[in-house]
Structure formats: structure tokens, C-alpha cells
Amino acid sequence: MAKINHIDVINKNGYVLIGNLLEKRLINDVLNNILPFANIFQKKQSQEIVYHLK
């Protein structure tokens, strides 16, 4: 398959999709950072509900 010239495409259309740019490791690291943080946020937020009920 012919290699896409990203410079030509972005200059023609104003944008370009760049396939498979990012390593899996970087993508997984992001999810593995968001999930624990979401848990902390959820815990703090559920504590807020307790305050409301008191």
C-alpha cells in the first residue's frame, strides 16, 4: 500500500488522520492512570453525598 504523505493531505484538506501514531504502551499508561484517579474522585464525591445527608 502506498505510504500517505501527511503534508500533502493536510495542505489539501486542512486536516489529516495519522494512523497508528502512538505506541500501545503510552495508550495503556493513560488508561492505567485515569482509572485509579477516577476511583479517588468517586470516593471523594460519595463522601460529599454523606455530607448532604447529614
- Contacting residues toward another protein, per CB under 8 A: 6-7, 10, 12-24, 26-27, 29-35, 37-39, 41-42, 45
**3-class SS at 19?**
coil
**Closest distance between another protein and the C-beta of residue 28, in Å?**
9
**Closest distance between another protein and the C-beta of residue 47, in Å?**
12
**Closest distance between another protein and the C-beta of residue 34, in Å?**
6
Q: How far is it, in rounded angstroms, from Cα 29 to Cα 26?
A: 5
